[in-house]
Amino acid sequence: MNTFTYDALPGRVVFGPGVARGGLLDEIDTFGATRILLIAADSELDLARELCAPFAGRIAATFSGVRPHVPLEVAERARVAAAEADLVLCVGGGSTTGTAKAVALTTGLPIVAVPTTYAGSEVTPVWGLTEGSRKSTGTDPRVLPRTVVYDPELTLTLPADLSVASGLNAMAHCVEAFWAPRRNPVSNAVAEDGIRHLAAGLPAVAANAGDLDARTELLLGAYLAGSAFAVAGSGLHHKICHVLGGAFDLPHARTHAIVLPYVLAFNAPRAPDAAFRIASALGFADPVQGLRRLGEKLGVPPGLRELGLREDYADVVLEDILALAPADNPRPVTADSLRWLLSAAWAGTDPAKEIS
């Protein structure tokens, strides 16, 4: 990659165990905010109020009507709650951050984000809104949080299964960043290190959800994954999972986790530098085996058939995936090669043997 373009994203990141309880006031003070809109889902509201105790008098409004995928009516109610605000503070997962972004999109208010999952939305300028069953997304610099406070202590309560699902989604962002449309040497470096931290943190958190060191590894990996995704964008893997999710209403995280090694096996021979870097970050000689072994440890089913899909599912989705497949995917995506990938991913057979 001798020629590239890299639009670096602005933003301040404060990271470490205890930084939310110890340092949020300083971060708020930087903005001189006195009329804050606090956004947190009901289940994170007590935590959010505890974090805001040192500046409780400056919370002008609280919005807790967070819903997955930010329904338009939720966005509109949050915008009404922001009428008098000079800053949005969000505490929670990707759905909560997404609600804060919906407010910033129309008001231009700055966001301070305190993530409590591994979604990564807090470092991207991407917003998403759902109207009926249709989700639209877009990119706008106004929705990128100005400050992100990452405190692994806040993730200790995230159950192990949700942690694994969220962490594997972050892994997909890192692996895919190597062939996504806006990849560059910086996003490659960030993605590679992200894989290293996620591969270290995921099994340790799955084994002991209360392990703060493992939580710290995983949150650092999630931050790097979100950063790589924000810069590089998404590629073939995300297009496949998006079409499968829409066509068959499959569980989002497990679909990603099953499909990823097959897309990696598909692309690796045509992207040897990426394959080498992914393998070394996973601590394996072969990147596909590295991902599969990690998945096995985390209880990921080997094939899509375990999710109840019929063997002929490829007939339903082939054309839609072909239409979305990026033209510059390392290996050209043809009807035959895609069918091969989809049938191997269904059967759960060794991806390295099936796809070569």
Q: What does the binding site for ligand NAD look like in residue numbers (CB under 6 A)?
A: 41, 43-44, 68-69, 92-96, 98, 116-117, 119-121, 124, 126, 128, 154-155, 157-158, 162, 166
Closest to ligand NAD by CB, 116 vs 343, is 116
Closest to ligand NAD by CB, 188 vs 227, is 227
Do the beta carbons of residue 17 and residue 217 sit within 8 Å? no
Closest to ligand NAD by CB, 35 vs 67, is 67
Tokens of 217: 């590894």
Q: How far apart are CA 331 and CA 344, in angstroms?
A: 17
Q: CA 37: distance to chain centroid?
A: 24
Do the beta carbons of residue 73 and residue 132 sit within 8 Å? no
Tokens of 232: 């590089």
Q: How far is the CB of 290 from ligand NAD (least distance, A)?
A: 23
Do the beta carbons of residue 91 and residue 21 sit within 8 Å? no
Q: How far is the CB of 125 from ligand NAD (least distance, A)?
A: 8
Q: How far is the CB of 240 from ligand NAD (least distance, A)?
A: 16
Q: How far is the CB of 109 from ligand NAD (least distance, A)?
A: 17
Q: How far is the CB of 40 from ligand NAD (least distance, A)?
A: 9
Residue 172, judged by CB atoms within 10 A of its CB (0-12, 13-18, 19+), counts as buried
Q: How far is the CB of 132 from ligand NAD (least distance, A)?
A: 16
Closest to ligand NAD by CB, 144 vs 333, is 144
Closest to ligand NAD by CB, 118 vs 346, is 118
Residue 92, judged by CB atoms within 10 A of its CB (0-12, 13-18, 19+), counts as buried
Using Cβ positions, the residue closest to ligand NAD within the complex turns out to be 94
DSSP symbols for 95-162: HHHHHHHHHHHHH---EEEEE-SS--GGG--EEEEEETTEEEEEE-GGGS-SEEEE-GGGGTTS-HHH
Closest to ligand NAD by CB, 30 vs 137, is 137
Tokens of 185: 């040497």
Q: How far is the CB of 224 from ligand NAD (least distance, A)?
A: 14
SS3 category, 330: coil
Q: How far is the CB of 30 from ligand NAD (least distance, A)?
A: 24
**Helix, strand, coil proportions of the chain in percent (round to 5)?**
60, 10, 30
Closest to ligand NAD by CB, 222 vs 282, is 222
SS3 category, 87: strand
Q: Which residue has the tokens 């060794």?
A: 350
Sign of CA dihedral 278, 279, 282, 288: positive
Closest to ligand NAD by CB, 54 vs 128, is 128
